Amino acid sequence: MRYAFKIFVFVLFLASLINAQDLSREQKLKKIEELNNQIKTLEKDVILPSAKDSEQAQKQGLNVFRIMPREIYDGVLTIRGGAAYYSFTNRTYASRILTDGFFSC
């Protein structure tokens, strides 16, 4: 019986150590923000056109951008629509949903 009590106290001690290592809410939010920044940086790299395409477009005085297939990247990329919509006037991938459910740039 005495042995079981010592084990119980030891388990409680370990449980308190595990709980003491939990991150605070502020630390978790900061971690989420850091990870989101990393994701946005990686997304920019994914949607950038190749160096060859950029160079060729620059020689011709054009702008170049990459449109991603929505069926594959919507929900994978944080950009709404998975970078499948591009606004030529704003030069961004941002899109908006019209009242009838269709996307617009």
Is 1 among the domain residues?
no
User: CA triplet 8, 13, 14: central angle to 5 degrees?
Assistant: 100
What is the C-alpha to C-alpha distance for residues 94 and 100, in angstroms, rounded to an integer?
A: 18
How would you write the pLDDT of the chain (105 residues) with one tens digit per residue? 566 666 776 776 766 666 556 678 899 999 999 999 999 999 989 899 999 999 999 999 998 889 899 899 888 888 888 888 888 777 888 766 554 555 555
Residue at 81 is within a domain: yes
The answer to the question of residue 73 being in a domain is yes
Determine the Cα–Cα distance for residues 78 and 74; give it in Å rounded to an integer: 8
Q: Is residue 37 part of a domain?
A: yes
Q: Nearest 5°: phi and psi at 54?
A: -65, -40
Asked whether residue 5 is domain-assigned, the answer is no
Structural domain containing residue 60: 25-104
- Does residue 90 lie in a domain region? yes
CA angle 13, 23, 20 (to 5 degrees): 15
In a domain, 80, yes or no: yes
The domain total for the chain is: 1
